[in-house]
Structure 1
């Protein structure tokens, strides 16, 4: 009787450990290279703010398409430029942050310089 209880405990522990490992691996790989909304700008990202708690974290160097209105930008590292309809733009220097889009134009893309 004792060996059955012990075998069940070992099987349960193994199953839970495997589930935790698989779950954590899937989550980590999903975040790598993805564009995502957050309540803040992650370190190392170029970010544009829709509201104070809706921050678009851009993942990559080069062109990142967007289609919304943004009012603030932060560069944790690389410089970037936000382009609006009519080819107007705002530049954000490396390791800086500033207000953008004074004329409330639709942003169409962000070029991150690496």
Structure 2
């Protein structure tokens, strides 16, 4: 019975580590309505991954269009090269990035969504 218990404990530890990695490595790449870039493109609402990490095409996620976009990762900066947007966090707080401005975000709080206001 002990070998099974040790295996179960090891499997649980591994599953927890993999789950944490998915949350930290995941991002909006799988979400519709945007793309990775090395810059915030004209007319876009954008957020930058925290910790110097990068998506497949750069550190900055450029949103396509208005409305709510689901996100699941940590970001440290927002850029509004056009419309303002609200960044929604896991703890139910939010930050607004005003039109034609940029600002720091709560990099220790997981972003769950962004609403681009139009």
TM-score bracket for the superposition, by shorter chain length: 0.5 to 0.7
Q: Which segment is superposed worse, 52-61 or 70-79? A: 52-61
TM-score by length of structure 1 reads 0.66
Which structure 2 residues correspond to residues 92-103 of structure 1 after superposition, within 5 A? 92-101=97-106
* TM superposition shift of 1:34: 4.3
SS of the aligned residue for 1:40 comes to: coil
TM-score by length of structure 2 reads 0.64
**Is 1:36 paired with 2:35?**
yes
Which structure 2 residues correspond to residues 79-90 of structure 1 after superposition, within 5 A? 79-90=84-95
Question: What residue number does 1:109 align with?
Answer: 113
Question: What residue number does 1:77 align with?
Answer: 82
Distance (whole Å) between structure 2 residues aligned to residue 88 and residue 106 of structure 1: 10
Greater Rg over alpha carbons, structure = 1
Distance (whole Å) between structure 2 residues aligned to residue 35 and residue 49 of structure 1: 13
SS of the aligned residue for 2:113 comes to: strand
Stretches of 4+ aligned residues off by more than 2 angstroms: none
Contact 2:91 2:109 survives alignment (8 Å): no
Contact 2:33 2:69 survives alignment (8 Å): no
Give the aligned CA root-mean-square deviation in angstroms: 1.6
- Unaligned runs of at least 5 residues, structure 1: 1-32
Greater helix fraction, Structure 1 or Structure 2: 1
Question: How many aligned residue pairs are there?
Answer: 81
- Unaligned runs of at least 5 residues, structure 2: 1-31, 53-57
